Amino acid sequence: MQQNTPPAAVPPTAWMILAVVFFSSLILEGAGLCLMSIVAPTALTAWFPPERRGLALGVWGTWVPFSSILAFAAAGAITSRFGWRGLWWASLVYTTLAFAVFLFLFRMPREMTTPERQPSGFRREWASLREVLKKADPWRLTISFACYNALIVALITFMTPFLMHERGFTSDEARFWVAGLIVVNMLAVLGGGLLSDALGTRKKCILGPYALLALIMLFYFQPGSEIAAVMLLVGGVSGLVVTPSLSAAPEVVERQEDAGKALSILAVGMNGGMVFGPAIYGLIVDRAGWEATVWFSVPVMILGFVAAWRLKVRC
């Protein structure tokens, strides 16, 4: 009888190299995400005046939900035909094309690129950053935006298992409704920009959705609720928060050149919410069940409302 040969042991050095490559790629990926969430809206801020900035940032703000839908749709087809390595190569090609489009098509406004505009130097920029960090409004906006990200990322993360295990949806049905939530959220991000420009206010366009969400989340994950309808409602209402928050970041600082610093602080809240929201949600579900998530969702929405209530923005 032929005996199976045990797999050869992987040398410790190979594991160490693999770990270094893996974590280095994660650092690069995180740096790219952070830079995109800071540099892109800063550039748009330079192109558009405050009264027209909401729509521009609304179009840009759809990048996260749109890319999520595109990635999930393409990943299955690519991996089934070319394997997981094919997905990495496809990502490399896509990233290269995106870089080429940006490199050849994007230009800053003429007044931002004149020869008279000289670099201010690291020391002066660091002093300016410290002044921005001392202001309360950028942090209030950051806390508010962190609340949105904590909720929406947690819901997207846990909706598929909830629908399958608690409501009896098939895997395809659950993914369909989660994709629907993302699509509605994406459209609402665009609508939030139009609304904030039309009304001429950022603050009210943040406060209104948070107040509605604090009420709606009382019924989320609760027995007897029409979960599909509530999902889409939450996706739409929560998306209205995004663009007014992005548009408000350059308006909570006194100088236009500090817009990037305010957006970098906002990115801290965005990423912090993405990390802690699903982690806390998972802990609550494991310890107390789905219905107990209301004790996280509602207070987080109230916290987002209170933080935004004290904002002092020019629009």
Residues 155-179: pLDDT tens digits? 989 998 999 988 888 888 888 888 8
The whole-number pLDDT of residue 194 equals 87
Convert the pLDDT of each residue in 251-265 to its tens digit: 888 777 777 888 888
- Evaluate if residue 37 carries a pLDDT over 80: no
pLDDT band at 206; cut points 50, 70, 90: very high
- Evaluate if residue 53 carries a pLDDT over 60: yes
pLDDT band at 216; cut points 50, 70, 90: very high
* Domain annotation for the chain: domains and CATH numbers: 13-107+124-309 (1.20.1250.20)
Degrees to nearest 5, angle at CA 265 with 263 and 271: 100
pLDDT band at 96; cut points 50, 70, 90: very high
Burial class (CB in 10 A: 0-12, 13-18, 19+), 198: exposed
Residue 64 has a CB neighbour count (10 Å cut-off) of 20
Q: How far apart are CA 226 and CA 245, in angstroms?
A: 30
Q: Which amino acid is at 7?
A: P
- Average pLDDT value over all residues in the chain: 84
DSSP 25: H
pLDDT band at 111; cut points 50, 70, 90: low
Q: Which residues make Cβ contacts (< 8 Å) with residue 110, sequence separation at least 6?
A: none
The whole-number pLDDT of residue 91 equals 85
- Evaluate if residue 49 carries a pLDDT over 90: no
Question: Which has more confidence, 306 or 92?
Answer: 306
Q: Which helix (H) or strand (E) holds 241?
A: none
pLDDT band at 11; cut points 50, 70, 90: confident
Convert the pLDDT of each residue in 114-139 to its tens digit: 555 555 666 777 777 788 888 889 99
The whole-number pLDDT of residue 286 equals 93
Q: Which helix (H) or strand (E) holds 131?
A: helix 122-133
* Mean pLDDT for the stretch of residues 133-162: 92
* The two three-digit tokens of residue 196, written as one number: 């904030």
Q: Are 189 and 60 in contact (CB under 8 A)?
A: no
Q: How far apart are CA 279 and CA 51, in angstroms?
A: 38
The whole-number pLDDT of residue 120 equals 61
| CA 97 to mean position of chain CA atoms | 23
For 262, half-sphere exposure in the C-beta direction (CA atoms, 13 angstrom radius) is: 25
Q: How far apart are CA 223 and CA 184, in angstroms?
A: 24
pLDDT band at 276; cut points 50, 70, 90: very high
Residue 148 has a CB neighbour count (10 Å cut-off) of 26
* Mean pLDDT for the stretch of residues 17-44: 78
* The two three-digit tokens of residue 23, written as one number: 């974590």
Question: What pTM does this model have?
Answer: 0.81
The whole-number pLDDT of residue 289 equals 92
Rounded to the nearest 5 percent, the helix, strand and coil shares of the chain are 80, 0, 20
* Mean pLDDT for the stretch of residues 23-43: 78
- Evaluate if residue 16 carries a pLDDT over 70: yes
